[in-house]
Amino acid sequence: MEKRRIVSGMRPTGRIHFGHLHGALLNWKELQDDYRCFYFIADWHALTSEYARPDIIRQSTYDIIIDWISVGLDPERCTFFVQSEIKEHAELHLLLSMITPLPWLERNPTYKEQLKELTQRDVYTYGFLGYPVLQAADILMYKANGVPVGEDQAPHVELTREIARRFNNLYGKVFPEPDTLLTPTAKILGTDRRKMSKSYNNAIFLTDGDEEVDRKVMQMITDPQRKTKKDPGDPAICNVFSFHEIYTDAHTVSGIDRQCRSAEIGCVECKRIMARSLKTALEPVRAKRGELEADMKRVREIVEQGNERARAIARNTMEEVRAAIKI
Ligand code: ATP
Ligand code: MG
């Protein structure tokens, strides 16, 4: 029996940080054994907010593919492709837009939130309102059975299901309704304790060098109640500690937990240990990235092959879609 399919994408608007790693990529990696995975660079989606500086999009595309492979996504098992290389996505987006009621888009919570949040860019555009329809096209094109997403994106998968249902009712059954595969990790906090994000300038990137990691970790805001080393700290609310839990060995972590609560260890010392764990974890990623950067021909081949595989499926789907709509 053919494996169930999943589809997920990332916007090429810069490099990968620890939020992306724990909020998406490590989950993608888990799934690659059990599913037929399609992971794509959502460059048309990047345009919704970055239409005024498209250079960053082109540049980020290969950077991100390299980061994906460096953290263990396997181009043999997964299909990596670039959205704008598969023009069928644009056609399906257009057709789905005809049957998507405007209120479905206007009530979308992410839309409302981002209109408020993205104050640096004017996103009061037709494309931005409609980007969940483009996402529906991305997902349905591959007849995905599941979509791995963070909680913030779950309403979009729901919308995709509604659009699929409406299409199937109007024209006959073409699309399965995909399940939401919620990413287990809670949000990763940045150095300032807000959600880690490029736009907040609080991110630690997989490409950061040792000095950069040291500098950022030293800046990290810890338990805000702990003013001096003499005050006992609370690891449960400390951002540095949450990274220890992921990257430092269990024995050391339980020691730090105890010594923080009893004010035996200070934040500077604690951060130094955490920075060391983080740098150790980044070493193999950096080595793998170095190999890939030295062989860009291979990277381009991987993307080409992925595009070919994706295109073949997209062509088939669009034939079925056109036949169903009789156009
Ligand atoms: P950024 O937020 O840094 O500007 P982006 O907006 O281009 O990046 P998103 O769409 O926010 O990228 O994130 C891509 C994926 O990574 C999503 O699945 C999202 O849930 C996840 N993600 C991003 N940041 C975090 C975080 N801080 N903690 C957990 N998951 C995250
Ligand atoms: Mg974001």
pLDDT tens digits along 131-164: 999 999 999 999 999 999 988 889 999 999 999 9
Q: Which residue has the higher pLDDT, 223 or 274?
A: 274
The rounded distance, in Å, linking the Cα atoms of 40 and 37 is 10
What domains are defined for the chain? 5-188+296-325 (3.40.50.620), 210-289 (1.10.240.10)
Is the Cβ atom of 20 under 6 angstroms away from ligand 1?
A: yes
- Asked if pLDDT for residue 192 goes beyond 90, the answer is yes
Note the pLDDT of residue 43.
Answer: 98
Q: Considering every ligand atom, which ligand is closest to the CA of 21?
A: 1
For position 266, what pLDDT does the model report? 94
Q: What was the pLDDT predicted at 114? A: 81
Answer whether 156 contacts ligand 1 (Cβ < 6 A). Answer: no
Query: Is residue 198 lining ligand 1, measured as CB closer than 6 Å?
Result: yes
What local confidence, expressed as pLDDT, does residue 15 receive? 94
CB 149 within 8 A of CB 181: yes
Number of Cβ within a 10 Å radius of residue 97? 16
What's the one-letter identity of residue 218?
M
Query: pTM above 0.85?
Result: yes
Is 45 close to ligand 1, i.e. is its CB under 6 Å away?
no
Which whole-number Å values give the CA distances from 168 to 98, 99, 103, 175, in the listed order?
14, 11, 20, 7
Please name which of 155, 47, 146 lies closest in space to residue 105, comparing C-alpha atoms: 155
Ligand 1 atom index nearest CA of 149: 18
CA of 303 relative to ligand 2 center, distance in Å:
24
Q: Tell me which of 161 and 187 has the higher pLDDT.
A: 161
Instruction: Kindly give the residue spans of alpha helices, DSSP state H, lying in 71-153.
Output: 88-99, 102-106, 109-117, 126-129, 131-141
Q: How far is CA 230 from CA 56, 262, 267, in A?
A: 46, 9, 11
What's the mean pLDDT in 303-309? 98
% the chain with pLDDT above 70: 100
pLDDT attached to residue 227: 86
At residue 316, the pLDDT reads 98
What's the confidence (pLDDT) of residue 85? 98
Question: 179 has which bridge partners?
Answer: 146
pLDDT at 110 over 90: no
In this prediction, residue 120 carries a pLDDT of 74
pLDDT tens for 9-20 read 999 999 999 999
Distances, alpha carbon 135 to alpha carbons 20, 130, 157, 273, 318, in Å: 19, 9, 8, 42, 16
Bridge partners, 9 (sequence order): 40
CB atoms within 10 A of CB 247: 19
pLDDT-derived band at 187 (thresholds 50, 70, 90) equals confident
Q: How much is the pLDDT for 113? A: 84
Which tokens go with 152?
A: 């913030």
- Indicate which residue's Cα is closest to atom 26 of ligand 1: 19
Burial code (b: 16+ CB inside 10 Å, e: under 16) for 7-28 equals bbbbbbbbbbbbbbbbbbbbbb
- Residue type for position 225: Q
Residue whose tokens read 């300038």? 201
Nearest-5° angle of CA 291, CA 294, CA 298?
A: 85
Res. 44: pLDDT tops 80: yes
pLDDT of residue 215: 98
Q: In this model, does residue 186 exceed pLDDT 80?
A: no
- Residue whose token pair is 């049957």: 99
Closest Cα to atom 4, ligand 1: which residue? Answer: 198
